Structure formats: structure tokens, C-alpha cells
């Protein structure tokens, strides 16, 4: 369910009239997504996505997200482009919520990524990282190592309801990551939620990247680590090194890894697994009674975390130092 706010016909027509996109031909809510209310908007000028920003998005941060999409789109990255209205504003208000209209991207997310999709993802992610280099706004990552303990505090007392011993295991992991987290890697604007549902393909060709509302300024290699977790494990929880190799080669053919990134990758993958374990654990334990939401499984990310704990080098992900490091 991802329509939290009702929009009346009058409100919609008045909002759309502020843009040079003709009048509304059709308008319907989109079921996918969890954070914001999204609508497919068809006007005389074509198809668009209308987004109402809901309470988990801080309005003060919207100029960063909107500005980043504008910047990346102008640099040739296939991502939603926010439309400016007749007053040259990309952000407005609809039904009492901040709202924007963005371009519609063709394509579909893949249910089962193949190595070729992972390679395309690697290429596009590296291009996105390079394209963000001259973006002048920045946003601290609230969900990196410094944010994990406060997040864990919210679930610690009930973590063992999900899995016996989980609270102690997370505590040990946090201690290790807080001690060893690398702080001197190349940084820039990263997507930070590049899961399969946020990447569109037409056949085997990547056609677009959506959902920039976790984007932030952090280590490029952390974005790569998030993707290793989200794209390179099978349904039976096994790690698929062929997909990982394709993803890393795809990335490094556009932006070669530094030696420090190569060294840090296993730790970043552990941290990324812990980040999604913690947010999923919180959501799992906080589902309101009767809510129409299916929380995502925290255990999936515990298993991924345990896998990375036994990885000693990025070679285990199929990355050869001589091959790809600048």
C-alpha cells in the first residue's frame, strides 16, 4: 500500500494547472512502494509520476533529493526528472503535503536478476557516482555506523522475539563495526537503497533508477556493498559470486576501485547488511495492528551478515586486485 493521502479532483486539477503539461486525462494510485504516496498521472503531455511526500521524508531534505535528481538527469543519468511549474518551482503542495511531478521512466524491475543485469547495474551506479561529483548540495547519511546504535536501542529489548540470541549478536557486531569502520574512502552522492525494485530494465538493458529518498553523501563503495547484498544472493540465501563478479566488473570498468576500497569491501558489506537488518527489525516489531503492510524479513539480512563475517578479502566477491584497482 503506498497511497496514504487522498487527493480530490479539484485539488488535482488546480495542482496540475500550475504546470505546462495540459489537462488531466487519467490519474491512479500506485500500489508499490512504502514511503510516499505515488500516482500515475496521464495528461495531454504524456505520463508522469506524482509523488506526495509523507511523514518519513523530512521536508527540509526535499531540496537535496529533488536537486540531486535534476542534476543527475541533466548529466544523462536515466532517473526521474522533477518538472518545474510555471513559477519555475519543482516542489509544490498538494492535499497539505509537499508534492512533485517527475518524468515517467519506462521499464520494469527484475524479479530474478541475472549476471547481465548486475553488470548493467554496476555500470549505471558508477556513472551515477561520477555524475554526482559536481553536485554542490550534501546530505549526511543518517543510516551509517553512527546511526546504528540509536536505531538498535529502539528494538534491542524485543530483538530475541525474532531470533534467540539476536540482541547479543547485533551488539557484538556493532562493537566490531564501530571500531573498524573505514572513514577515509572516496565519498560522493550515493543512492543508498539500490535494491532491485528501484532499478528498471527493458529486457537486459538498464532503463532507469528511481527512489532517491535515501540518497546521501557517503562512501561510493558503501553503495556497491549495498548492491552486493541486494542483488547477489539467491532465494536459498547462497551467495552468487558470478553475479557479484559481474556487478564489480561493471562498476570498475567505469570507475576503478581504489586499493582502500578493495580492502574495505567485506567490512562495508557487513555494515550494509547490519543497516538493513536494523531497519527491518524495527519495522518488523512496529507494525501497527491491522496495517496493510507486509514488513520485510530481518532474518534475510542476518544471514547475509553472517556470510560476510567469514569473507576475508574482496577476492571472495570475485574482484581481482590486479584486474580492477586503479
Ligand X SMILES: N[C@@H](CCOP(=O)(O)O)C(=O)O
Q: Which residues bind ligand ADP (CB under 6 A)?
A: 2, 30, 32-36, 38, 49, 80, 102, 104-105, 197-198, 210-211, 213
Least distance (Å) between residue 12 CB and ligand X: 24
The smaller minimum CB distance to ligand X, of residues 85 and 141, is found at: 141
Do 265 and 224 form a contact (C-beta atoms < 8 A)?
Answer: yes
* Of residues 20-59, those binding ligand X (CB under 6 A): 33-35
In Å, what is the CA distance from 267 to each residue of 30, 242, 249, 270? 37, 20, 19, 5
The entry of ligand ADP, ligand X, none that residue 100 binds, CB within 5 to 8 Å by partner kind:
none
| Alpha helices by DSSP H, the chain | 9-16, 62-74, 115-131, 145-153, 166-180, 220-231, 241-252, 259-285, 298-309, 321-324
CB burial of 9-27 (b: ≥16 within 10 Å; e: otherwise) equals: eeebeebbeebebeebeeb
In Å, what is the CA distance from 225 to each residue of 63, 95, 164, 220, 305? 27, 38, 27, 9, 12
* Of residues 187-246, those binding ligand X (CB under 6 A): 193, 195, 197-198, 211
The entry of ligand ADP, ligand X, none that residue 148 binds, CB within 5 to 8 Å by partner kind:
none
The smaller minimum CB distance to ligand X, of residues 198 and 240, is found at: 198
Among 42, 296, 303, 309, binds ligand X (CB under 6 A): 296
Give me 304's grid cell.
Answer: 547475509
Q: Give the Cα separation of 189 and 218 in Å (integer).
A: 6
The entry of ligand ADP, ligand X, none that residue 184 binds, CB within 5 to 8 Å by partner kind:
none
In Å, what is the CA distance from 269 to each residue of 222, 236, 308, 324? 7, 19, 7, 18
The entry of ligand X, ligand ADP, none that residue 296 binds, CB within 5 to 8 Å by partner kind:
ligand X
Secondary structure of residue 114 in the 3-state scheme: coil
The entry of ligand X, ligand ADP, none that residue 95 binds, CB within 5 to 8 Å by partner kind:
none
Among 280, 305, 317, 324, binds ligand X (CB under 6 A): 280
The entry of ligand ADP, ligand X, none that residue 104 binds, CB within 5 to 8 Å by partner kind:
ligand ADP
Least distance (Å) between residue 60 CB and ligand X: 19
Do 94 and 11 form a contact (C-beta atoms < 8 A)?
Answer: yes
Regarding 303 and contact with ligand X (CB under 6 A), the answer is no
Residues facing residue 94 across a β-bridge: 97
Residue closest to ligand ADP when measured from CB atoms: 33
The smaller minimum CB distance to ligand ADP, of residues 59 and 186, is found at: 59
Least distance (Å) between residue 100 CB and ligand ADP: 11
The smaller minimum CB distance to ligand ADP, of residues 30 and 75, is found at: 30
In Å, what is the CA distance from 262 to each residue of 173, 198, 265, 306, 316? 21, 26, 6, 20, 11
Q: Give the Cα separation of 8 and 121 in Å (integer).
A: 38
Part in contact with ligand X (CB under 6 A); list of ranges 53-61, 65-73, 276-284, 312-320: 276-284
The entry of ligand X, ligand ADP, none that residue 195 binds, CB within 5 to 8 Å by partner kind:
ligand X
Q: How distant is the alpha carbon of residue 262 from its chain centre?
A: 22
Binding positions for ligand X, rule: CB under 6 A: 33-35, 193, 195, 197-198, 211, 276, 279-280, 296
Amino acid at each position: 500500500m503506498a497511497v496514504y493521502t487522498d487527493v480530490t479532483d479539484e485539488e488535482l486539477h488546480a495542482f496540475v494547472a500550475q504546470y505546462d503539461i495540459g489537462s488531466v486525462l487519467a490519474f491512479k494510485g500506485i500500489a508499490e512502494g512504502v514511503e510516499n504516496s505515488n500516482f500515475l498521472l496521464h495528461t495531454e503531455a504524456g505520463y508522469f509520476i506524482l509523488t506526495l511526500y509523507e511523514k518519513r521524508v523530512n521536508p527540509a531534505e526535499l531540496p537535496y533529493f529533488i536537486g540531486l535528481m535534476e542534476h543527475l538527469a541533466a548529466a544523462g543519468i536515466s532517473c526521474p526528472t522533477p518538472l518545474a511549474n510555471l513559477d519555475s518551482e519543482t516542489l509544490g503542495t498538494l492535499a497539505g503535503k509537499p508534492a512533485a511531478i517527475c518524468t515517467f521512466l519506462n521499464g520494469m524491475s527484475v524479479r530474478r536478476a541475472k549476471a547481465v543485469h548486475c553488470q548493467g547495474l554496476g555500470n549505471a551506479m558508477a556513472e551515477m557516482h561520477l555524475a554526482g561529483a559536481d553536485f554542490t548540495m550534501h546530505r549526511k547519511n543518517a543510516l551509517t555506523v553512527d546511526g546504528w546504535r540509536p536505531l538498535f536501542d529502539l528494538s534491542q529489548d524485543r530483538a530475541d522475539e525474532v531470533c534467540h540470541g539476536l540482541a547479543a549478536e547485533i551488539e557484538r557486531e556493532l562493537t566490531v563495526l564501530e571500531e573498524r569502520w573505514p572513514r577515509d574512502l572516496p565519498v560522493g552522492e550515493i543512492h543508498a537503497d539500490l535494491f532491485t525494485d528501484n532499478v528498471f530494465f527493458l529486457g537486459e538493458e538498464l532503463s532507469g533508477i528511481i527512489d532517491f529518498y535515501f540518497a546521501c553523501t557517503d562512501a561510493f563503495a558503501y553503495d556497491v556493498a549495498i548492491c552486493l547484498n541486494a542483488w547477489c544472493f539467491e532465494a536459498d540465501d547462497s551467495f552468487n559470486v558470478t553475479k557479484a563478479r559481474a556487478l564489480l566488473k561493471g562498476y570498475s570498468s567505469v570507475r576503478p576501485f581504489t586499493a582502500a576500497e578493495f580492502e574495505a569491501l567485506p567490512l562495508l558489506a557487513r555494515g550494509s547488511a547490519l543497516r538493513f537488518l536494523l531497519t527491518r527489525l524495527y519495522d518488523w516489531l512496529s507494525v501497527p495492528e491491522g496495517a496493510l503492510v507486509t514488513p520485510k524479513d530481518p532474518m534475510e539480512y542476518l544471514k547475509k551478515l553472517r556470510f560476510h563475517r567469514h569473507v576475508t578479502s574482496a577476492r571472495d566477491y570475485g574482484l581481482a586486485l590486479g584486474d580492477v584497482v586503479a
